[in-house]
Each structure stands twice: as C-alpha cells, then as structure tokens.
Amino acid sequence: MKKILKGAAALSFALACSLGAASAQEEGHSAAEPTHFPIHKPEQMDWTFAGPFGKYDKGQLQRGFKVYKEVCSACHSMNLVAFRTLSELGYSEAQVKAIAAEYTVQDGPNDAGDMFERPGIPSDYFPSPFPNEQAAAAANGGAAPPDMSLLAKARGVERGFPQFVFDVFTQYAEGGPDYIHALLTGYGQEPPAGMAIPEGTHYNPYFIAGKSLAMAPPISDDQVTYDDGTPQTVDQYSRDVSAFLMWAAEPHLAERKQTGFSVIAFLLIFGVLVYLTKKRVWRQVSH
C-alpha cells in the first residue's frame, strides 16, 4: 500500500511537470488575431447556489425572471420551463396563474378544426417569441437566438489544467452563470488595435465562440425597474438573470445538494462502522 502511494505521488508530480510545460506553450497568440476564445476568461462570481449548502435566493430569482420577461424573452425562448414551476421562485398559486395568463398560447384544434389562441395556464410552457427556428434566424440576421432553458448548463469556459483538478474539491459548477454574467457585462470595450470586427456584430472579449457576436448589448442601466430597492445596474441585472437561468437549467439544485449532505453523512457513519467491523474481523489475521 505504501509503495502504491509513493508511486502515485511520483506520478502526480511528473504529470504536473509535463502538463505545466505543455500549457505554457498555449500562450503567445497576437492580440489582434486571437485564435482561442474567449479572449478573457470570465470572472468567478459569488453565487448563493455555489458550494455544498448552496440554495437559490428567491428574491434574486424573481428579479432575474423580471429581466428575462422584460428583456431577453423578446428574442430568446425558454421552451422547457413551465409556468407552474415559477412557484419555486416564491410566487403564490394566484401569482403564477396571473403570470401565465399574461402570455398567449396557441392551442387546438377546436371543434371546427382551427388552431386558436388563449391565455396561458400554469401547465403551459413559456411560448417562443418566434413561430419556428427559421423565423427566429431570419429576424436576427441569420443567427437564431438560443433557447434559454438550459443555457446556464450549455455554456462554460474551459478551466484548463490544473484548475480543473482543484474544481473537483472546491465543487466549482458555476461556469455557466459566470460566463453569462461576464458576457452581459463585457460589452462596450475597445477592440485591440488592428482587430477587424465584422459588420453587424459586437466586440465582446468574453464571447466563447469568437471575437464578436450578433447580439447587441441587450440591457442598459435602469432599463428594468426593481421594486425591492436593488441597484438597477447592468452588473446587477446580469447577476440576477444569470442566477435565474441557472435555476431554469437546474431547478432541483438545492434539493440535490441537501440530499447529498444526508447521503454523504450516512456514508461516513456507515463507513466508520464497516471499518471497525473490518478491523474486528481481521484482528486475528496478519496480512
């Protein structure tokens, strides 16, 4: 056993050296013509849902939902989220009904065989702003705005070695919201001298798939009114909508972490019992 450990130690040291040498070679591309994106890695934010005891801040989710409803939803669908789940944001049944009724949902066919429109009910899902993906693309310069249901899990900037190893221990799983926040607050910077920005796109050094993106800066200070006195800044909007999107992508996050705590506590106790039993059983046998 000791020898295995020694071997493992030597192994990890050698690995660290070789990988360190390798990642050093990654640097050194020109500022005007970057080949790897994003140009800047997103800043790591503090989230209430991070860590082993993380849970969503309902106030923040409600604010984020407001930002989604008043800003993002003009272009971005959220097909997988049902109105009924909004009760997890702290809304009452009546409030959920009222929110659902603000949306128009296509239903049918009726007895005459026609499709018809009616106000939404809690069991409906958020309707798309465009009838289909082609229409969405046509209205947005050829690039359909992505659905937002899973956006917070579908985006994440690579952490690189050795950071990804540490992430296992720190439980870093907020790459999605960090990225969304960084992207939303990353507009308005001067591109480096000599960098060509294609017509109709907007420079953003945090964009994961290029130097610029088709989406114009979507939000500005004081665009959405907060009732609870929270500052109405782009930074705050971005935090809130990122948290909301994390909830939309992973609604059972808090339940998952709470279950995890009990499971791990049980495994530790059971583990100690089994270890003592094992010691007792093997006591008379040298091995």
Partner 1 sequence: MSGGHSTYTPKTGIGRWIDARMPLPRLVYDSFIAYPVPRNLNYAYTFGGILAIMLVAQILTGVVLAMHYVADTRLAFDAVEKIMRDVNSGWLLRYLHSNGASMFFFAVYIHIFRGLYYGSYKAPRELLWILGCIIYLLMMATGFMGYVLPWGQMSFWGATVITGFFTAIPLVGTWIQELLLGGFAVDNPTLNRFFALHYLLPFMIAGVVVLHVWALHVVGQTNPTGIEVKSKTDTVAFTPYATIKDGFAMLLFFLLFAWFVFYIPNFLGHPDNYIPANPLKTPAHIVPEWYFLPFYAILRAITFNIGPIDSKLGGVLAMFGAIAVLFVVPWLDTSKVRSAVYRPWYKLFFWLFVIDAIFLGWLGSRPAEGSYVAMAQVATLYYFAFFIVVMPVLGLIETPKRMPNSITEAVLAKNKGGAGHPAGATASPETKG
Partner 2 sequence: MSADDTIDPSRRDFLYIATGMAGVVGAGALAWPFIDQMRPDASTLALSSVEVDVSSLTPGMSLTVKWRGKPVFIRNRTPEEIEVAQKVSLNELKDPLARNANLTSDAPANDLDRSAGEGKENWLVMIGVCTHLGCIPLGQQGEYGGWFCPCHGSSYDTAGRIRKGPAPENMAVPVFSFISDTKIRVG
Establish if 155 lies at the interface with partner 1 (CB under 8 A).
yes
Member of 3, 94, 111, 113 binding partner 1 (CB under 8 A): 3
d(CA 100, CA 115): 19
Select the binding partner of residue 167 from partner 2, partner 1, none (C-beta < 5 to 8 A, by kind). partner 1
Cβ closest to partner 1, residue 175 vs residue 218 = 175
Establish if 161 lies at the interface with partner 2 (CB under 8 A).
no
Contacts of 95 (CB under 8 A, 6+ apart): 86
Establish if 283 lies at the interface with partner 2 (CB under 8 A).
yes
The burial of 82, by beta-carbon neighbours within 10 Å (0-12 exposed, 13-18 middle, 19 or more buried), is given as middle
N residues, the chain = 287
At 262 the three-state DSSP class reads helix
Contacts of 221 (CB under 8 A, 6+ apart): 232, 233, 234
**What is the per-residue DSSP string for 19-36?**
HHHHHHTT----SSS--S
d(CA 208, CA 115): 40
Select the binding partner of residue 122 from partner 1, partner 2, none (C-beta < 5 to 8 A, by kind). partner 2
Cβ closest to partner 2, residue 100 vs residue 245 = 100
Contacts of 208 (CB under 8 A, 6+ apart): 37, 38, 155, 157, 179, 183
At 285 the three-state DSSP class reads coil
d(CA 182, CA 169): 24
At 214 the three-state DSSP class reads coil
Binding part of the chain for partner 1, among 57-65, 143-151, 193-201, 227-235 by CB under 8 A, reads 143-151
Establish if 278 lies at the interface with partner 1 (CB under 8 A).
yes
Distances (CA, A) of 105 to 73, 146, 283: 15, 20, 70
> Nearest distance from residue 73's CB to partner 2, in Å?
21
Cβ closest to partner 2, residue 82 vs residue 99 = 82
Establish if 217 lies at the interface with partner 1 (CB under 8 A).
no
Cβ closest to partner 2, residue 40 vs residue 257 = 257
CA-based nearest residue to 99, from 125, 133, 135: 125
Establish if 268 lies at the interface with partner 2 (CB under 8 A).
no
Establish if 1 lies at the interface with partner 1 (CB under 8 A).
yes
Establish if 92 lies at the interface with partner 2 (CB under 8 A).
no
Establish if 116 lies at the interface with partner 2 (CB under 8 A).
no
> Nearest distance from residue 168's CB to partner 1, in Å?
7
Select the binding partner of residue 154 from partner 1, partner 2, none (C-beta < 5 to 8 A, by kind). partner 1
Distances (CA, A) of 165 to 3, 24, 59, 159: 23, 17, 33, 9
- Give me the residues that bind partner 2 (CB under 8 A), please: 82, 84-85, 121-123, 266-267, 269-270, 273-274, 276-277, 280, 283-284
- Give me the residues that bind partner 1 (CB under 8 A), please: 1, 3-4, 7, 10-11, 14-15, 18-19, 22, 25, 52, 80, 85, 146, 149-150, 153-156, 161, 167-168, 171-173, 175-176, 209, 249, 251-252, 255-257, 259-261, 263-264, 267-268, 270-271, 274-275, 277-278, 281-282, 284-287
